[in-house]
Structures are given as C-alpha cells and as structure tokens.
Chain A
C-alpha cells in the first residue's frame, strides 16, 4: 500500500467506528433519555402509563404514609397541582416533607406515579436544579 492508501484506510476505519458510535448514540438518545416533569405538566399533558420520566417538586406536608413493609407513599406538589407517588424501598436521608425531591419511575394506570428511584442530595440546603427552576417559573419560589 502507498502512504496515501494507508492513510485513507486509517481514516476510513476511524470514520466507520465513529459512524457506528454516532448511530448508537442517536438510537440511545431516542430510547434511553428520561424527561423531567412537574405535577402541573403531568396533569395538563398526561403521559402514557409506563413511560419513564422524572417527577420533581416538593414533598407535600403531611402526605408521607408508610405502608406494609417497605412500601411508602407521598405526594409531590409544585404548590399548584399534586401527584401521588408510591415507592418501595429506602428513602434517601435528606427526604423530608416540604423539601425538594426528584422521583424517577413511570405513571400507573390510575394516575399515580410509581417511583423506583428517589434522588437524594449531599447537602441539606440544596434544591434540585430542575425543581428550583420549575418553582421559579410558576412564581412560587421562596428561596433566595
């Protein structure tokens, strides 16, 4: 092979790997991303049951109910609308009523949200960014 042919072969090989990776990325971006929704979003524009999404807002005061064994339910609110969430497992340490929370899971047929992950933060003063933004949008933000 001449120098030019070799270079073409290397570039061609590189581009084909790049193309394969780009294909994977595009496919995964269609399949594997999770949208963030507030309770108001969910009630105004219902999402099909089973679609994975992240629900963010504040844990409504007095809504946390412990059920059988490891079951727990609570309500997430953006102070305008509220969505009931059920979860099985251990809640993060910084999970508290009237504090920001992000729950990942899917809507059930009865309009409640079944979470399989409830996200925690490292810092007690920290509000998840999406939650803070959406509260600001709705004009109900009370932080600084």
Chain B
C-alpha cells in the first residue's frame, strides 16, 4: 500500500511541477504578489511529493518488500541496514529517483531562502527548475518506475551488487548527485537572466554560493568515488580516465571555472556573458554525465547492465535543455551590457587565464570521451581512448594552470603588479627548485620531467601558503601584528588558500605515486617474504572466513620493518557472495603515515602457492587529502559573511553600480 502511495505521489509531483512551470513563467510576466507566492508554494509541494515517493521506496527497501521488483533485484534480508538504505540508489530506477529528489530539494531551497531575490528572477528560476524536474519525473514514470511490483513476491532478494556493498559507495552517489544537480541552480539562474535580458552583480552574488556548494559536493563525490575504485576494485588504480569518471570530471572542471568567473562578475561586473555561458555549459555536462552513465553507450569499467531505450529518452532531455539554453543564449546574450575594463596583468586577467585553461582542458576530456562514439557512428570502427591520450593532452594543459595558481590571489583587481607578486613568491619558488634538485640528487638524475612535476606540486603548495602570509603582510609587520591581521582576514581568503593548497597537495600525491610507486606480482607460499619499499611483507597463509552474506578466503600477511620489528598485519581476501555467486577481491591496505602498502590476492596455483599483487603507494593518501582540503576551502568560503543568507539584501543595489 505504501508503495502504491509512493507511486501516486510521484505522479502527483509530475503534475504539480508542470503547474510550477506554468505559474512561474506567468508570474514573471506580471507583478502579482499572490502569483509569486503560489509559484514558491507549488515548488515546495513538488518537493514534498517527491520526498514522499523517495521515503516510500526507502521504506520498501528497509522492510525487504520483495514484491517490489526494485527491492527484489537489489536487496537481501541478510545485508546490513546501511546497504539496505544504499540499495535504494544502487540501481538505475532508485538513483534516478534520488536525482529528482535532490533536484526538487534544491528548488525548494531557492523557494525558501530566496526571500531577497528580485521576485521576477525568482519566479523564472523556479519555472526553469520545474521544467528540469518535469522532464526527469516524466522519464522516471515512463521508463524507470521504481515502484513496479512482482505478481508473486519471492522469499528472498537477489542481493545488492557486491562491489556496491561498501560504505564508500553508499554515500558516493548522493554526494555526486548533490554536485551534479546542484549546478542546475546556476543553470536556472542563467536561463532566468537570459529570459529577462538583464544581469547584475547581485546575480553573481546569488549564484556563487550555489555553485560553491555544488562544487564542494562534486569534489567530495569524485574523491570518494576515486578512493572507492582504488580499494574496492583491487587494481590499485585511483583514476582510470574511464568515460564514467570523465563524466563527473568535466562538470568539475567547468564548475571550477564558473566559481572563479563568478568572482570576477561579482566584484567587477566583468565577464557577464562568459559566466552565463559557463553556467549553462556546466549543467550541460552534468546532464551529459547522467546520459553517459545511464545509457551505457560507452564501455566503462564502472558500467552496470543498462538499457539503451532509456538512453534515448535522456538524450532527448539533454538536447532540449542544452539546445534550448544555448539558443536562448545566442538570442539574448547581445542584449547584456559589457562589463568593466581591466589590464591583462590583474586579478581579472589571472581568473580569465584560469577559465581559459580549465574550459579547454574540459574540452580535451570531452573529445577523448566522445571520440569513440563518434568514430563508431561514422565508420563503425571500435576504439578505446585511454589514459595515454589524456596524459598527453590534459597533462600539458595543467602545467601553466598550476604555475599560475600562486600568482592569482596576489594580483590586485584592475591593474596588478606581477613583479611585486613575484617578490612575495620568491621563497616558494626557491623551495620548489630545491625539491626538484633534491629529487634529482637522490634519484641520481633519472627522470627530469618527474623532478619538474614534483617541483610544480611543491610550488603550488608553498605558493598558496605564501599567498596567505602575503595577505597578512608577514614580511612587513611584526609577527604579532601579522598574526592579528591573519585572523582578521575574511573567510573567503582562507577558502581560496585551502582550495589552492588542496590542489597542490593532490598534485603532490599524484606525482609521488606515479614516480616512486612500485608494483610486484608474484606467487607466494605461506612463510614467503618479499621486500616492499622499506618494509618486508610476509605471507602467513590462507584461512576461510564467513561474513553475514558472503564467505571468503582470507590471505593473512604481516608487514615488518627492515630491522625485523613487526609493523602490522594485513588481510586481503577473495570473497564469494552467496546470493549472486559473485566473487570480489578485497584488498589489504596498510596506511603508514601518508603512504600505503596495498595487497591484492589472485588465484591459487596448483602447487599450493597464491598469486599476490603488491603495490607500494608513497604519499598516495595526499590525492584524497587534497580533495578534503578543497572541500574545507569551500566550507570556509560559504561561511564568509558576504555570502551568508540575507547578506545580499544590503548590497544588491549598491553592488550594481559600485566596484570595490
């Protein structure tokens, strides 16, 4: 009964969101307060209905109601509660419902907290949000109904795909979707601004926190997915340049660009048209990502069985929204007044530089991702574009970007002094050179490019610190005064600092793992020992073990220092999930400081030995630690006074004319 109620709520949500669209667009034509109010209330009603539908599906999963196909195919009575919950979005239908749930959640937030928004802008934004919601609700109801029933309820479910039975993947999809879908708000604001044909600094002030929040979730989601793939797939890789990964990475790249261009627009009123275009492109990439993942048109290591007819539906949605928004952009962009002037060497100039490289690198990722599709459609040739392509194209584009990062925050608006900025960065530059030279000395001059890459990562880290210290004038003031100044800096300065620092930390992790990581594949018998970097890994033997819904063969290892002192024990296992009869490999990972020893079990040979794959991953955790810093950076920026809810009221008028 609850299931049918949920289904009904979803149908109602579709009808109400069509009403939301109509009300919003009509309200924006006039000035009737009641119409504006009705639009907002309708938005809340849609959110309420989708929430009920989502809760109904959650309830079915929690109670293992196997009369529902979705629950039968993706759940089991014996799995832990957390996986019963994550089973809701661990499948196509449920994940689309989560998508719609998050979309309507964001719409409701705009309706609730957009009190100070100009009424017409708000009505248009809500109408566009409603349009997106209508399309996706229709998609769910027409092709992917999560509430479909089975005529005879089975006693037991087929279990959730074992690789998804993991805490990391339980929270990865919601984080990723909060990011993907969060960009819909920037998109709707952009479309609303184009409909009105006007845009001002207040607009950027409104869009920036939304973008920042979406970017924060997307960063966390990507990092979580990367770490999940790293430990769960048992291949020791943290990024495969796989289409599904690229699908989440492209909106991240353009979203990062949007974050920076919105700053220029807010502070200086420049780059208006470009910012609008970026907002449209970023959400378009989110839609493209949804299409690529859900349609299964591309072969991916992350592919799950998928249905092409659904792909077509999403493709149509994609074409309508992207095509429609870009057409509107083409028609109206000319009406928007150009913004302020600036010298090439200035904060604006640096941010344009950032945008240039980020969008072009997103374009190369797009090319590499879609080229196989294009070639197959045109010539029937099947190809794959893998890591070598991206390393060759994306890699070089990141170099100038990383080189420029420390300069940006030190340049003044309008007209900057590159020489003065350079002086403040002298010690950071020295440190980077020193790191590169030290590596050349320690490795006896082996990889020169590697040394430069290491220097580059150190440069970004040291440069970000130099930026922060420079803002507090540590060079010119006494320590006490400078510390006082530091604590008085706006939080957004710390946001920039943490974001850039995180970028450098991630880069450092990537460089050290790539340069100094080792991989060994060998057969081991109980008692065998092998050297891994500064440790010795000994194999203690295999033993059977039973979990709640799986049985496994555990390989026990112990890690000791070269001096023989025991460091820790490691368990790596071959797991067999009972319900699906599906095997998985559980990697044994030992984290020591920031580095990891990673052990993965292979098959057993006839002579009683076991194939073992061992990686030494120096400083690998920095890759994800950097992402965590970026997330904290976003939080710091979001908590800045300027961006707090309500703050735009005081400045919305003034900001359109005055420049800081």
Contact = CB atoms under 8 A, between A and B. Distances in A.
Interface string A62-89: 0000100110100000000000000011
A130 B388 contact: no
A49 interface: no
B48 interface: no
B274 to A, nearest CB: 10
Contacts of B611: 69-70, 90
B34 interface: no
A34 B386 contact: yes
A89 B234 CA distance: 13
B600 A32 contact: no
A85 to B, nearest CB: 16
A104 B387 CA distance: 13
B341 to A, nearest CB: 6
Interface in B247-301: 296, 298-299, 301
Contacts of B367: 25, 29
B586 to A, nearest CB: 10
Given A35-B382, A66-B606, A90-B600, A120 B583 contact: no
B303 A122 contact: yes
Given A35-B381, A66-B605, A90-B521, A25 B364 contact: yes
B206 interface: no
A129 B522 contact: no
Contact of A91 (B305, B384, B584, B602): B602
B583 A89 contact: no
B431 interface: no
Contacts of A34: 383-386
Most buried by B among A91, A93, A134: A93
B522 A6 contact: no
Interface residues of B, number: 56
Interface in B580-594: 580-585
B120 interface: no
B397 interface: yes
Interface stretch (B21-29, B180-188, B355-363): B355-363
A91 to B, nearest CB: 7
Contacts of B59: none
B523 interface: yes
Nearest to A66: B605
B360 A17 contact: yes
Contact of A29 (B371, B582, B584, B585): B371
A21 B392 contact: no
Given A3-B341, A25-B367, A32 B304 contact: no
Contacts of B299: 102, 128-130
22 contacts: A6-B341, A10-B352, A21-B361, A24-B364, A28-B389, A29-B389, A32-B385, A32-B388, A33-B372, A33-B385, A33-B389, A34-B384, A34-B385, A66-B603, A69-B611, A90-B600, A90-B602, A93-B583, A120-B301, A122-B161, A122-B301, A129-B303
Given A31-B388, A69-B523, A129-B298, 6 more contacts: A25-B393, A33-B372, A70-B611, A122-B303, A129-B303, A130-B382
